[in-house]
Amino acid sequence: MAEIADFLNRGAASITPAVAEKVVRALPQWKLEFTQIYEPLFPHLGSQLDFLANALEDSVEGAYKDLPFSAIAQATFALLYAHKKVGIIPDAVLNLGRADDSSVVRAALIQNEKAFAIYAAAQDIEWGKVTSQP
């Protein structure tokens, strides 16, 4: 998992507020795509992506101002990565195509667990349901 965390941190380092704003503009379509994810090996991926999308949207639009930019940047990178159809493991690979997406998303959740737990509480979301499990 350390390699995935390093990958996430390197990717997040390139995220600027302008990139985050651009991703927020694309989120309505991406959220629709994320609801179509059916991966029995990664049953929480869709809800985890939805959580990150909502946290990013609320932060960038100013509805929630207490999320550190490092968490915003990692959420943005994780969403960009999951949206891409070709990653470390292409999404078309049966049973494994979303393994890398799930790992990157979980790394973002784990590394920012405290900040995201506070955000979840502020939004009346049960943090325990936004699991860091696959």
Question: pLDDT value at position 96?
Answer: 55
Tokens of 109: 């959740």
DSSP state of 128: G
Q: How many CA atoms lie within 13 A of 49 on its CB side?
A: 29
Give the pLDDT confidence score for residue 93 in this predicted structure: 46
Q: What is the pLDDT of residue 34?
A: 86
Q: What is the pLDDT of residue 14?
A: 96
Q: Is the pLDDT of residue 132 over 70?
A: no
Of residues 108 and 34, more confidently modeled: 108
pTM of the predicted structure, to 2 decimals: 0.89
For 76-126, write each residue's pLDDT tens digit.
Answer: 999 999 887 555 554 444 555 677 888 999 999 999 999 999 999 999 999
Q: Give start and end residues of each alpha helix (H) in 36-83.
A: 45-60, 69-83
- Residue 20 pLDDT greater than 90, yes or no: yes
Percent of the chain past pLDDT 70, that is, above it, reads 87
